[in-house]
Structure 1
Amino acid sequence: MALSFTCYASLITKSQDQLNYSKYNGVEKVKSIIKKTVIPSVSCSPVESLQKGNWVKLICGASFEDLVDIRNLSLVYTLAGVDCIDCAAEASVVNAVNEGIEAARALVPIRRPWVMISVNDDEDLHFRKAEFDPDDCPQDCTRPCEKVCPANAILQKGGVLAERCYGCGRCLPVCPYDKIRAITYVRDVTATAELLERDDVDAIEIHTSGREPSVFKELWSGLGNSTTNLKLIAVSFPDLRDSTISAMKAMYAIMEANIQCFNLWQLDGRPMSGDIGRGATRNAIAFARKLASAGDKPKGFLQLAGGTNDHTVEGLKKEGLFQMTTVHEASRYETIPSSLHSPNALIAGVAFGGYARKIVGRVLSSVHSHHGLARVEDFPEQLLQAIIESLALVGTVKCYNIQKPST
């Protein structure tokens, strides 16, 4: 799908004075610009995306609960054409996601992505928060924790903003005084079941180590009939080496009798590391190659996560795991192994978390710093900059032909 950024380029190069609209006129201007631009008014359903291998999921973060950011991220990535938005299993967070989606659809008539909530069956890296008492910090501490935090969750003269911390753990080893600790938790199964009864929740993802079938079964049993009307059930797990397939079979056997929708296996290569750089995606791709070539795995789509970024699709293509769009494109890469020619070898899609939040977060941060807690659509220049960033990332999977504005 070709996307023209002519309108973007002309808008972004205008002076700030020309963009100094009232709130009402600003929103109307955004609507006008986007409608004149070829934003992907996606007609392909999320199921079709899974089947074609160009499914894209935005991971807001299983522990990330900054409602303003989540709302604005959901708006931007809905316009970019993601198929699913994954968020914390909290009612306020789900509300923020849906508000962002509907705000996007008010600007452009675009299909609604699925809303997914994430839960865990036991201790998991994605379900923890950093914590420390700032009064215990020595006055001369250089506070390296602030420098390494990708979520800007550590205050200059305070502790950790719990709603912004998503548990990456990068602050833990850098504290020179060992003052930071991680607080882990497990989502309440009863509250989760109640969320799944909502009409605006479409999917669930269960994070598990895969090593304890009993705790997985306990969670699954606790959900009861709340999964009946879901469109997708996903299980996220790490690379368990030689026991990966057996663990998948054990989990699928627990779920099979009550699954009435599609299921997906999220391959968590290197958790919460996509914003680090090119090398972060290697574990996810290696994990995908192993699972794609396994002939005895249970049914379900395969999707990458953990270390995913704008280099992921390039790596998948080199391994013959991404569906090529043209013969010319395929010729740029090494010969695809004959064992990976079957449809089972194709990866259904990619989930983007930390990297997706980082590239758009730079724009959102500029809005917050100048205007406080704000709706991004009230600031046309920043909204369009955020859309360009999100389209460039989502487009690596969706194969958008993006032409960024000239400078």
Structure 2
Amino acid sequence: MSLTFSCFASLSQQLPSQVHARSSSSGGLEKVKNLITRTGIPSTITSPLDSLQKGNWVKLICGASFEDVVDIRNLSLVYTLAGVDCIDCAAEASVVNAVNDGIEAARGIIPIRRPWVMISVNDNEDLHFRKAEFDPDDCPTDCSRPCENVCPADAISHSGKAGVSKGGVLAERCYGCGRCLPICPYDKIRAVTYIRDVDATAQLLKQDGVDAIEIHTSGRQAESFQQLWNGLGDSIDKLRLVAVSLPDMGELTVPAMNSMYVTMKVNLRCLNLWQLDGRPMSGDIGRGATREAIKFALHLASTRDKPKGFLQLAGGTNAHTVEGLKRERLFQTTSISEKLNGGERALNSFEPSHALISGVAFGGYARKIVGRVLRSLQSEHGYARLEDCPRHLVDAVTQALALVGTVKCYNER
């Protein structure tokens, strides 16, 4: 039994008796099973590898710096039920335990296949690896506190929250989006950046329950990437997938990818994937946030000399992403066309089993739509396991299915 699961067991003992009564009712969980069945997810669905090849791979990004194990466990439960292929989380043992607890809870409800578990690390300073910080005692008493309203993670409280007596930033909930930094009228908030320890990462990779790693990089510092890769040593031997997340660097993107691939391929014994990080941590903002991710995908898909590896979108992805991919003829297709003199010419083609764009990762938007349900759960019942409150679980799974279904095309077969 993991520490995370023990934490939930202890919390559940403190819940009101009516919540326990609800948890013993099979009727609520039957509604979840029926919902999943009606949506079109069979009890055993295609493997993550099949999804990559077909172009309907979906990854949940819990957040490289998000470490709230209660939310992470419930998010993993919901999105496993919704059929994601991979769950990406912070490289911390307690977080990995929370993800795996959520996955197994989902598999206890319906016999669904296990998604891959991925941990995220960085080779240098990166937006995804930072925390906001401020001392609420330094804040003027007449401040309107705009930072509280703008925080998408509900990580800021001047008056304090459960387990925090003083207030400020709840470090485990802050994932470094940075929206609070420019909005503070007194410039009191600062960002604290960090780099994941390579030795600790290597040890975590050797444990059961971790299937993949994602390296966040700027692509501009080949030496930093090489040091991280070499430092991981033989810890990558048992992995199923190695992903590299990088921004759009224009003409420098493909040369950087080729350089990193040369470093990796010497001892790469599994699949590799390139995560195209269009507009980091912005998917929850609105429809326009996904444009840069699609633009990045269009650029890479039409480039001939890129290295091996699946292509997956991230950064600004939301419910409108697949719609944009379809407009650009990038969704679940094996070729890309360019209009020339009123006609079209194929620029790239792959084997029939390989899609041009292999999938989409959802982060902030995925957490936001399910987070509404989790906040309601917490408000009504405190820190509870989501499956103990079937009404909330049905609501959360409904939201998740709608999002994952944009890629999986549920009910369109």
Q: TM-score, normalised to structure 2's length?
A: 0.88
1:31 maps to which residue?
29
Distance 1:337 1:85 in 2: 37
Q: For residues 401 and 264 of structure 1, do their structure 2 counterparts lie closer, same or farther at Cα, with a shift above 3 Å needed?
A: same
- 1:110 counterpart = 2:112: yes
Which residue is 1:197 aligned to? Answer: 206
In 2, Cα distance between equivalents of 1:177 and 1:197? 46
* Alpha carbons 1:231, 1:262 under 8 Å: kept: yes
Q: CA deviation at 1:323?
A: 1.6
User: 2:382 — aligned with what?
Assistant: 372
On the 8 A contact 1:30/1:107 being kept in 2, the answer is no
Letter in 1 for 2:222: P
CA distance in 1 between counterparts of 2:211 and 2:401 reads: 24
**Residues 335/388 of structure 1: CA separation in 2 closer, same or farther (3 Å cut):** farther
Structure 1 runs (4+) deviating above 4 angstroms are 334-337, 340-345
Q: Within the alignment, does 1:211 sit opposite 2:228 as a pair?
A: no
Q: Which amino acid aligns with 2:65?
A: S
Task: Report the 3-state secondary structure (helix = DSSP H, G, I; strand = E; otherwise coil) of the residue aligned with 1:258.
Answer: coil
The question of whether the paired residues in 2 share the 8 Å contact of 1:232 and 1:264 is answered with: yes
Aligned to 1:388: 398
- Three-state SS of the structure 1 residue aligned to 2:266 is helix
1:306 maps to 2:304:
no
Q: 1:285 aligns with which of 273, 288, 294?
A: 294
Partner of 1:316: 325
Match runs of 1:1-400 below 5 Å:
22-26=21-25, 28-37=26-35, 38=37, 40=41, 41-157=43-159, 158-323=167-332, 338-340=346-348, 342=350, 346-400=356-410
Give CA-to-partner distance per residue, 1:70-119, whole Å, 9 cap, x none.
00000000000000000000000000000000000000000000000000
Q: 1:337 to 1:73 in 2, by over 3 A?
A: farther
CA positional deviation for 1:34: 2.9
Q: Is the 8 A contact 1:73 1:357 kept in 2?
A: yes
**1:266 CA displacement:** 0.2
CA–CA separation in structure 2 for the residues paired with 1:274 and 1:360 = 14
> In the superposition, relative to structure 1, how do residues 381 and 217 fare at CA in structure 2: closer, same or farther (>3 Å)?
same
SS in 2 for 1:201: coil
CA shift digits 1:8-28 (9 cap, x unpaired): xxxxxxxxxxx97704424x3
Structure 2 counterpart of 1:25, one-letter code:
S
Instruction: Give unpaired runs (5+ residues) of structure 2.
Output: 1-17, 160-166, 335-341
User: How far, CA to CA, are the matches of 1:36 and 1:150 in structure 2?
Assistant: 32
Q: How far, CA to CA, are the matches of 1:118 and 1:336 in structure 2?
A: 40
Amino acid of the structure 1 residue aligned with 2:142: D
Structure 1 stretches lacking a partner, 5+ long: 1-18, 326-333, 403-407
In 2, are the aligned partners of 1:272 and 1:354 still within 8 Å (CA)?
yes
Query: Mean Cα displacement is larger for which, 300-309 or 341-350?
Result: 341-350
Q: Displacement, 1:43?
A: 2.0
Query: Shift of the alpha carbon at 1:202?
Result: 0.2
**1:235-262: CA deviations, max 9, x gaps?**
0000011110000000000000111000
Return closer, same or farther for 1:279/1:337 CA change in 2, 3 Å cut-off: farther
Point out the more displaced range, 80-89 or 191-200.
191-200
Per the TM alignment, residue 372 of structure 1 is displaced from its structure 2 partner at its CA by 1.2
CA distance in 1, matches of 2:322, 2:44: 21
Aligned residue pairs total 375
Letter in 2 for 1:73: L
What's the CA shift for 1:345?
A: 6.8
Aligned-partner Cα distance in 2 for 1:317–1:50: 17
Separation of aligned partners in 1, 2:113 and 2:78: 14
TM-score, scaled relative to structure 1: 0.89
Aligned partners of 1:282, 1:336: CA distance in 2, in Å? 23
Displacement, 1:42? 3.9
1:359 & 1:197 partners in 2: Cα distance?
A: 33
State the Cα distance separating 1:198 from its structure 2 match.
1.1
Work out whether residues 320 and 337 of structure 1, in 8 Å CA contact, stay in contact via their aligned partners in 2.
Answer: no
- Does the 8 A contact of 1:320 with 1:336 survive in 2? no
